[in-house]
Structure 1
Amino acid sequence: MYPRLGMALALTLGLGACAQIVQVSPRQSAADTISVQAGRERILALSPAVSARQLAPARQALSAARAAVARGDYTLASRQTLLAKTLLDNIQTRLNSASTDSQRAALQSQIVDLQSRNASLRQQIAATKAQIAQEAP
């Protein structure tokens, strides 16, 4: 019974030490969250469909979040980062819907082309059937 108690105590102390090792400071947590959104902003900036003007509000929110972290105001940093995330989500949604619209237009064009080909083939089949009927005894 005592060996089990010793093992349980060792595990508890070990897990407690691990929990203290991985504890993240509010400053680091805020900086990491800002970095994630800044990365998204950079990725969206690479798209030719997104203008700098569209990204400006998100960039301003990220700058305000960085300034808040520097002052130690983590609540404001969190709110500014959330604002930047929402703005970037809106841009991403617009991009996704624009690509869906262009894909839909391309599919519509393909459908019209295939319908035209189908009608042409039906005419050729009808003409061939008529020719065969005329040539039959």
Structure 2
Amino acid sequence: MNIKKYNEIAEKNKPQKQVLKHTFNAFIVGGIIGMIGEFFLNFYQKIFSFSEKEATPIMLITLILIAAILTGLGIYDRLGDFAGAGSFIPITGFSNAMTSSALEARSEGLVTGIGANIFKLGGAVITFGIVASFIVGGLRYVITYFW
């Protein structure tokens, strides 16, 4: 069989992309995660009389905890399969990635397994965040004061 005929058969039998379905799923799940965050923000403001500034970090910690628990139970991975990028809203996606790293390395022990592997991902993300913040802050400074 020649290459041209093979490519024709492969192209004809290739599964169709479901862009609209995946986009819709990501939008809905991401929106639901955002709504849950807003619920906890309002909950902490109303129940504990916190200001928005005080309630925001507590809401973020709550979302991190929920994502870590759901990852440990195997639910967040199934959610990620369904929602794709919609489940990777920065704070919950980062919590999922960190918890997954820890769970994969738990058989190696607390320090050399969980402790070492959890920071492999975290170190890269934190380093990227710091470098990106430095660059953006420098650009903002230059734009603000020299233009």
Short-chain TM bin: 0.3 to 0.5
TM-score normalized by the length of structure 2: 0.31
* Structure number, greater radius of gyration: 1
TM-score normalized by the length of structure 1: 0.33
